[in-house]
Structure formats: C-alpha cells, structure tokens
C-alpha cells in the first residue's frame, strides 16, 4: 500500500517550476479530477502486478480495461485543453474589449476635462460680468449724467462768452489807454514847445535894456 502511494503521489503532486497560465488552469483541473487519476493509477498498478501472477486472459481483460480508462482520461484531458483554448480565446477577446473600453473611457475623460475647463472659464467670465454690472449700477443714471454734462456745457459756454466779452473790454480799454497816452505825449510836447518860446522872448528884452 505504501509502495502504491509513493508511486502515485508524484503524478498528482508534480508541478512545473514556471507554469504558464494555461498550464496552471490545466493543473487545477487535474487536481479537481484527482479521483479519476487515482483510479487510473490503481488500474495500472493492478495490471502491472497481475502480469507476473495472473493468467493471460485475465491480464488481457485488465489491459483492455486499463486502455479504456486511459482513453477516457485522455478524452477528459483533451476536453480540458479544448476548454482552456476556448477560455484563453475568450479571455483575449475580453482583454481586447476592455482595452477598447479603457481607450473610450480615456477619451471621454479627456473630453469631459476640456468641457469642465470651458465651463470654469465661462463661470469666471460670468462672475467678472456680474462684478462689472454691479459697478455700473453704482454709477449715476445716464439721464442724470447727461443732464449734468448739459449743465456743465452751458456753464462752459457762459464762461466762454464772458471771457470773450472781458477780452473785448480789455482790448477797448487798452486802445483807449493807448490813445490817452499818445494824447498826453502830444500835450507834453506842445507844452514844452510853448515854454521854450516864452523863455527866448525874455532874454531878448533884457538885451535891449
């Protein structure tokens, strides 16, 4: 019994050092079918023992049973490999779909980020417009401003006319003052001429005496 255990155990427990994903799945399925593998191992050990002691007919019968058991086990193995191939193909297809979905998601995230940035810029512009509107509302109404501008324009016009009138008055006074100074100068010259004549007459009378 211990001999059978030692001979059968490595077949069930042996595992490659670096198994691929497909081999790992196959190993898991083999472990799940350990009962079938154990039965096959028992039939083989029984057949090997019978070859030495049992009649040929019995050995032939055991051999055929072993072949059937082995064929069934090989069929299960082939079926498992087929299922693994199908699962791997399905996994690859699923992986491709996941990659495509990730690409679409990344594009959607990029588009949403761009839209979010545009919305943020629009909100900032709205806030700036609102602040500007508040400042405009704080200013006097346009009608009052226009009225004030009209009043200032009228005042400026009045000041302009007054300035022109003052300039004209100053020009007239300057002209009159100039005429006055000219007449005064002529008068001084005239008076100076008469004084010189009277002085000359007195000298002549003294000489005659």
Comparing 40 with 12, which gets the higher pLDDT? 40
pLDDT at 30: 61
- Exposure string of 158-172, with b = 16+ CB inside 10 Å and e = fewer, is eeeeeeeeeeeeeee
- 38, 8 contact by CB (below 8 A): yes
Give the residue-averaged pLDDT of 37-63: 82
Comparing 135 with 30, which gets the higher pLDDT? 135
- Predicted confidence band of residue 195 (pLDDT cuts 50, 70, 90): low
pLDDT at 119: 93
Among 178, 157, 159, 177, smallest CA distance to 167 is for 159
Q: Identify the three-state secondary structure at position 180.
A: helix
pLDDT at 118: 93
pLDDT at 109: 94
pLDDT at 50: 81
Q: Identify the three-state secondary structure at position 19.
A: coil
Chain centroid to Cα 199, Å, comes to 112
Comparing 142 with 164, which gets the higher pLDDT? 164
- 43, 55 contact by CB (below 8 A): no
Instruction: Read off the pTM.
Output: 0.36
User: What average pLDDT does the chain have?
Assistant: 78
Chain centroid to Cα 85, Å, comes to 45
């Amino acid at each position: 019994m211990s001999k059978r255990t030692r001979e059968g155990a490595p077949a069930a427990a042996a595992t490659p050092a670096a198994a691929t994903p497909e081999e790992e799945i196959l190993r898991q399925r083999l472990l799940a079918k350990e009962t079938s593998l154990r039965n096959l191992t028992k039939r083989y050990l029984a057949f090997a023992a019978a070859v030495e002691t049992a009649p040929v007919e019995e050995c032939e019968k055991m051999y055929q049973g072993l072949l059937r058991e082995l064929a069934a086990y090989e069929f299960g193995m082939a079926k498992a490999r087929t299922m693994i191939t199908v699962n791997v193909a399905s996994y690859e297809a699923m992986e491709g779909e996941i990659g495509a979905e990730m690409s679409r998601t990344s594009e959607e995230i990029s588009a949403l980020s761009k839209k979010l940035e545009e919305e943020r810029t629009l909100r900032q512009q709205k806030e700036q417009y609102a602040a500007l509107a508040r400042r405009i509302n704080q200013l006097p109404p346009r009608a009052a401003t226009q009225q004030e501008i009209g009043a200032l324009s009228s005042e400026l016009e009045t000041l302009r006319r007054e300035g022109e009138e003052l300039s004209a008055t100053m020009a007239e006074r300057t002209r009159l003052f100039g005429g006055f100074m000219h007449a005064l100068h002529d008068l001084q010259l005239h008076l100076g001429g008469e004084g010189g004549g009277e002085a000359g007459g007195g000298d002549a009378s003294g000489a005659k005496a």
